Amino acid sequence: MRRAPLETRPILTTAALCSLFLMTFTSAVLAVPHPITPGSKLVFNFNVIGKPATQSFNGDCGDGHRIFVNRDAKAAQILVTNSTTGWSIEDCNATADHRAVLATNQAGIYDIYVRILGKPGGNIHVCADTLSDFLSGETLCQIGTIDLTRGKGQSKFTLAPSAMFDASLIDIMWTVDTNADFRIAQFRVYQRP
Q: Which of the 8 DSSP states describes residue 71?
A: T
Instruction: Give the residue among 148, 115, 145 at the shortest CA–CA distance from 128.
Output: 145
Which has the closest alpha carbon to 177: 143, 139, 151, 142?
139
Q: CB of 87 within 8 A of CB of 52?
A: no
Other beta carbons within 10 angstroms of residue 109's beta carbon come to: 11
More confident residue, 23 or 36: 36
C-alpha to C-alpha distances, 189 to 126, 150, 152, nearest whole angstrom: 17, 21, 25
**Distance from CA of residue 140 to its chain's centroid?**
23
| pLDDT tens for each residue of 52-101 | 998 888 877 767 899 999 999 999 999 999 999 999 999 999 999 999 99
Q: Where are the domains of the chain?
A: 1-31, 41-191
- What pLDDT score does 47 carry? 97
Q: Give the rounded distance of the alpha carbon of 114 from its chain centre.
A: 4
Q: Give the pLDDT confidence score for residue 21 in this predicted structure.
A: 44
Tens-digit pLDDT profile for residues 121-166: 999 999 998 776 777 777 789 999 999 999 999 999 999 999 999 9
Please tell me the pTM assigned to this model. Answer: 0.80
Q: Which pLDDT belongs to residue 4?
A: 55
Torsion angles phi and psi, residue 28, rounded to 5:
-70, -40
For residue 182, what is the enclosing H or E element? none
Q: Which helix (H) or strand (E) holds 23?
A: helix 9-30
